[in-house]
Structure 1
Amino acid sequence: MSEINISLLSENQNLSKFEIADNFTCIRFLDRQKERFELEFNLEKGTSFNTFFIRNNEELLIIHPPEKQYLNSFIEIISNFFNQYKLKKINFISGHINPQIIETIKNVSKRFQDLTITCSNPGFKLISELWNQRNPNLEEFFEIQLPKINIVKKELNLELSNISLELIPIPTARWPGGLIIYERNQEILLSEKIFSAHIASEYWSETNRISTEIDRKHFYDCLMAPMSNQVVSITEKIADYDIKTIAPLHGPAIEYSLKSFFNDYIRWGENLSTNNPKIALIYASAYGNTASIGDALAKGINRTSVEVESINCEFTSNDVLIKSIHNADGYLIGSPTLGGHAPTPIVSALGTLLAEGNRDKPVGIFGSFGWSGEAIDLLESKLKDGGFQFSFDPIRIKFSPNKPKIKELEEIGTHFGRKIIKKAKKKPRKSDTGMITSKTDPKLQALGRVIGSLCVLTASKGKDENNIKGAMLASWVSQASFSPPGLSIAVAKDRSVESLLQIGDSFALNILSEKDFKEPLKRFTKPFSPGEDRFEGINIELTPNEQIIIPNSLAWLEAAVKERMECGDHWVIYAEVLHGNILKSDCLTAVHHRKTGANY
């Protein structure tokens, strides 16, 4: 088979090519830069975008066209196909639709005339809305005729020369135009966003079942968890197919232990579907920026035991919305501002919330804007006049949030979730027997006698305007290995600093002295406001890797996270010690004594 000439176009934008079958090729666009939209949630491994090309007679089918940042490479690849194989037509098959992908299709349509887009019915609605809508994030704007659209209403089979495709709509709140493709002959599933991971891998597939598990679970927690019920249903449907390979939109393919992988995805979702309090997150998002704010809030809420139900009001019936509002223990509603107004679906959803919502339940509002923020003003005034109580000040973000702002949004979400839990605990109980038992249970009293060093864990990540800092008081600390020297720390899932303790991250452990622990204890046990600087007003020093040493410490250790294990309501982190020093050789370590193992 003739090779397609694909060159490396820049240091940060490489290409990998994989031949799946005759006339069936995957081009992976590799991006090693970390500061990109949606990568607020990455593990700093870059990302990749998988686009698939199928030649069928004189037509080139392109599944999952990439975003505009890859445009030059993309057009060059299409030109090579057209020149080498004398092609005349293009059929874009896409379920993942955003303004950047629309810009890619529009630019391609200027150069290649005979063009069709195949998409789901919600995808058609999104494309129609975005086609001639000016995105304030983009400097360039031009009007061009919308291509011919082929709508997949339920499922669609495409029988090509040696390729057999089944197109399956999988609408979700975050991606209503979702469309996955199953190729029967190769038994490969092109799964789009579901099962993805943000990894810039040059290899076609992961090396083994667990090599990318942390990355895929992280992607799930950040973007899939708020719509876990939908994701579980999709996964159960997909699991019935004969699949040898899963090729997602982002990251390497999955070829090992697929049954176990499906079970994990279902288990992650079912673990969230509990009788815990629930929050209805209602939003519309023209360019993805408002959705990104909602994702960050949801991630923070999910650190608590509160479940988030994500509701894209552009694609949700009023009956479903009313049911969600009635079942929720709190509400979040977000909107972009388009032409000085809120989108019509948000105005309608706001009316439903005003009519059906419980004024005793907390509410929060958020939104993004380009030049103004009238939609956020509308939400605020109507809900305030309607008697709702705001849990936090309205969130107003111009364009998309940067990494420090994302961290602050997560903290706002965690605070919101804690308020919901606190309110739920105040509800009358049939019996307080469980509470009394927990205080007097002998095993918990015995567990409380396990003591640990009283420490302050500090973490810093990123540079300049993208620098994020965090800290927490830690007493569940223990040496874990001699060679290499290592320690383990238990970190509650709702701790803000937890997101800075991923594998590969560094942190400092400030061990407190029994003589001078009161001041740092007072500072780091008080609740911090979202975005508040934990170190304001103290003279900090830095470790060799620029982690934070606080005053009055007995000693400090700098360590790098090597492993993470999920343990109930905590993460247990194993870290290798890199550096350390004694600051007060004549003092003893402060120790945390407890009467019960039921709390700190």
Structure 2
Amino acid sequence: MGEGDRRLQTQTTQIAKDTTTIRSLDWDRDRFDIEFGLQEGTTYNSFIIKGDKTALIDASHQKFKQLYMDALSGAVDPSTIDYIIVSHTEPDHSGLIQSVLELCPNATIIGSKVCITFLENLVHIPFERKIVKNGEKLDLGGGHELEFILAPNLHWPDTIFTYDHGTDMMFTCDAFGMHYCSEEVFDSDFEPLRGHFSFYYDCLMRPNAKSVLTAMRKAKELIPKTATICTGHGPLLKVHLPEILESYSSWSTDATAKLPVSCGVFYTEGYGFSDTLAEMLARGIAKTEVETETINMAALDTQELIEEIGRFNGVVLMSPPADSPTSAMVGTMVASVSKKQKLLIAESYGGNDEPVDSMAMDFAKQDVAMPVDPLKVTDTPSEVTYQLYEESGTDLGQSLTLKKSIEKKKTGMDSGLAKALGKISGGLYVVTASKGTAKSAMIASWISQASFEPLGFTVAVAHDRAIEAFLQVGDTFVLNCLKEDDYKDLMKHFLKRFPPGADRFEGINCHDGENGSPILNAGAAYMECKVVSRLEAVDHWIVYSEVTAGNVSGDTRTAVHSRKVGTYY
């Protein structure tokens, strides 16, 4: 068991001939980065393959250090490990690589070129290494021949898949995973997993849908033979494998087909908060139906950088460390970004960032459009910082899709049908929510009661609304009803376009509810709510929530909202 009130366990299970998994079970983890509200904890999966030689695939999170090292020593004599295969260098999978190396100093670390470069900065002891290319094989003996597939940006720049021809197992690290903690090693019952599987894809893989399809194309000869996908998080997948593979393929195909506008987020892996902040920007951009890719500048040479920049309508540049090889690439970007592209520059908060103002001036001299002001970070990034970056990404994405949105409205539905749809009326509400120190709000009218026991209702939230990130399953918020005879000031305030990261409650008379979200004192009523489920409805999320508390303010009716047409709010 673990420290404090966190339940940490390890589970060691043989899953195939000569193949064992060590699963680190994190039962109570309730958040994974800012975008993941976890209902069922998560797992970190590691694997041992024994042929004539022994290979370890991935390790675990630093928080499991003693538990994991004990489990590893119980499953294999660490000194006999010949290879350590690093699927990627994200800390939750490679946090214990150095600890493992100290027990088997003669082992060879296997990874992509980018992976080995990163490890040199993470592992502070000498190590043997082997850089593998796509399709390269390694024979462990005993029938276990491993084949490597390079799968960058899933969701880390140095990701590789490993296929064991002896067991037909594919080891995919983050891809195909889910945040779900259970002692069930395999996906025997997929129903309780389905929502976690799709939510994980939406948050982590959908912004990199093009990379998903590329990886699956590289593995197309192996996928038909795959008996089990051994993921880095959650249960291993074999019972429902056809459905799982088809879902990834169809979701990614749909995502790329619907996203002709694209944006590249260029960052420096392992530097300061560049990784996390880049992910938040990418998530905000992707909410506007813009195809989004995160690209590690350190993995590119000059020509590759020029080619990458040319693929996108929009470019995000995370400030690299000054006086570094990555910093030298900024000049290449200044010369390569065209007037037709749109640019956002943001700090990485690494302690030695290239100044964003200086970079912005260099791009401005080339008449590059910068619809969002450069992002600066003055303190250690918090929920407020992440909110700022996500909302700024959304603003950039909206600027990239503005022309498309206007054209869509011009070629919209028949005017008579639009007027008929507008006859569906609703009330006027303000949805308010908080996460840590970050807060958000929006005017809502698409509200409908959906259940009696428990008391529940639905609210429709557009994909690109800032508050969408605050309304994940398990999150809490407040539904404030506006008064019929006194709603215009509040409505006008919350309909304003707020700059990214702005305080939406400045000057508003309110207090925090029991769940921490703001209650508007001038409202007709309020209800404190918890998100139970979400359903995607093309360009909106239908969020079903249960009411946990509430009250009214006198005998005042809720304001009613009537529209002229059904093509806008």
Q: TM-score, normalised by structure 2?
A: 0.89
Residue equivalent to 2:265? 281
Deviation at 1:232, TM superposition (A): 1.2
Mapped pair 1:217 → 2:233? no
CA distance in 2, matches of 1:399, 1:221: 29
Question: Does the Cα contact within 8 Å between 1:285 and 1:336 map onto a contact in 2?
Answer: no
SS in 2 for 1:286: coil
CA distance in 1, matches of 2:451, 2:61: 46
* Number of equivalences: 564
Match of 1:442 among 416, 426, 434: 416
What does 1:407-426 align with in structure 2 at a 5 Å threshold?
Answer: 407-422=387-402
Match of 1:498 among 456, 460, 468: 468
Q: Which moved more, 1:530-539 or 1:588-597?
A: 530-539
Question: Does the Cα contact within 8 Å between 1:292 and 1:400 map onto a contact in 2?
Answer: no
**CA 1:210/1:173 → structure 2, altered by over 3 Å: closer, same or farther?**
closer
Q: Which amino acid aligns with 2:152?
A: P
Mapped pair 1:552 → 2:535? no
Residue equivalent to 1:136? none
**CA 1:288/1:265 → structure 2, altered by over 3 Å: closer, same or farther?**
farther
Q: Which moved more, 1:436-445 or 1:18-27?
A: 436-445
Deviation at 1:491, TM superposition (A): 0.8
Any idea what the Cα deviations from partners look like across 1:188-232, whole Å, max 9, x if unmatched? Answer: 321112112233333213453343333333333333233321211
Any idea what the Cα deviations from partners look like across 1:493-536, whole Å, max 9, x if unmatched? Answer: 11111112122222221112210111211111111222222222
Question: Does the Cα contact within 8 Å between 2:44 and 2:92 map onto a contact in 1?
Answer: no
Deviation at 1:322, TM superposition (A): 3.6
What does 1:34-433 align with in structure 2 at a 5 Å threshold?
Answer: 34=29, 39-45=33-39, 46-57=41-52, 59-81=53-75, 88-98=80-90, 104-128=96-120, 130=121, 143-149=124-130, 151-152=132-133, 154-161=135-142, 163-172=144-153, 174-206=155-187, 208-238=189-219, 240-273=223-256, 274=258, 276-287=260-271, 289-316=273-300, 318=302, 321-337=305-321, 340-341=322-323, 343-348=324-329, 350-359=330-339, 361-374=341-354, 376=356, 379-397=359-377, 401-422=381-402
Deviation at 1:115, TM superposition (A): 1.7
Deviation at 1:397, TM superposition (A): 4.3
Q: Which runs of 5+ in 2 are unaligned?
A: none
**CA 1:579/1:89 → structure 2, altered by over 3 Å: closer, same or farther?**
closer
Q: Which moved more, 1:558-567 or 1:380-389?
A: 380-389
Question: Does the Cα contact within 8 Å between 1:9 and 1:73 map onto a contact in 2?
Answer: no
Deviation at 1:40, TM superposition (A): 2.3
CA distance in 2, matches of 1:420, 1:551: 38
Q: Which moved more, 1:158-167 or 1:468-477?
A: 158-167
Deviation at 1:404, TM superposition (A): 2.9
Deviation at 1:558, TM superposition (A): 2.4
Q: Which amino acid aligns with 1:395?
A: L
CA distance in 1, matches of 2:541, 2:62: 38
SS in 2 for 1:70: helix
Residue equivalent to 1:135? none
SS in 1 for 2:225: coil
Residue equivalent to 1:484? 454
Deviation at 1:446, TM superposition (A): 0.2
CA distance in 2, matches of 1:588, 1:118: 66
**CA 1:502/1:436 → structure 2, altered by over 3 Å: closer, same or farther?**
closer
CA distance in 1, matches of 2:241, 2:101: 38
CA distance in 2, matches of 1:109, 1:539: 58
Question: Does the Cα contact within 8 Å between 1:121 and 1:153 map onto a contact in 2?
Answer: no
Any idea what the Cα deviations from partners look like across 1:108-161, whole Å, max 9, x if unmatched? Answer: 333433221122333334334x257xxxxxxxxxx5323243645532143433
CA distance in 2, matches of 1:352, 1:359: 15
Mapped pair 1:473 → 2:473? no
Q: Which moved more, 1:366-375 or 1:293-302?
A: 366-375
CA distance in 2, matches of 1:152, 1:247: 21
SS in 1 for 2:398: helix
CA distance in 2, matches of 1:254, 1:164: 21
CA distance in 2, matches of 1:275, 1:544: 40
Deviation at 1:44, TM superposition (A): 2.7
**CA 1:204/1:277 → structure 2, altered by over 3 Å: closer, same or farther?**
same
Q: Which amino acid aligns with 1:422?
A: L
**CA 1:594/1:8 → structure 2, altered by over 3 Å: closer, same or farther?**
closer
**CA 1:360/1:172 → structure 2, altered by over 3 Å: closer, same or farther?**
closer
Q: TM-score, normalised by structure 1?
A: 0.85
Deviation at 1:375, TM superposition (A): 5.7
Question: Does the Cα contact within 8 Å between 1:246 and 1:255 map onto a contact in 2?
Answer: yes
Match of 1:24 among 19, 28, 32: 19
Residue equivalent to 1:4? none
Q: Which runs of 5+ in 1 are unaligned?
A: 1-6, 133-142
SS in 2 for 1:344: coil
CA distance in 2, matches of 1:169, 1:424: 34
Question: Does the Cα contact within 8 Å between 1:193 and 1:249 map onto a contact in 2?
Answer: yes
Deviation at 1:23, TM superposition (A): 3.4
Question: Does the Cα contact within 8 Å between 1:561 and 1:575 map onto a contact in 2?
Answer: yes
Task: Calculate the aligned-residue CA RMSD, in Å.
Answer: 3.0
SS in 1 for 2:368: coil
CA distance in 1, matches of 2:28, 2:455: 32
CA distance in 1, matches of 2:524, 2:302: 60
SS in 1 for 2:263: strand
**CA 1:312/1:437 → structure 2, altered by over 3 Å: closer, same or farther?**
closer
Any idea what the Cα deviations from partners look like across 1:166-185, whole Å, max 9, x if unmatched? Answer: 33332338533322122345
Question: Does the Cα contact within 8 Å between 2:58 and 2:94 map onto a contact in 1?
Answer: no
Give percent identity, aligned residues only. Answer: 29
Q: Which moved more, 1:320-329 or 1:413-422?
A: 320-329
Q: Which amino acid aligns with 2:422?
A: G
**CA 1:460/1:538 → structure 2, altered by over 3 Å: closer, same or farther?**
same
SS in 1 for 2:419: helix
CA distance in 2, matches of 1:24, 1:492: 46
Mapped pair 1:565 → 2:535? yes
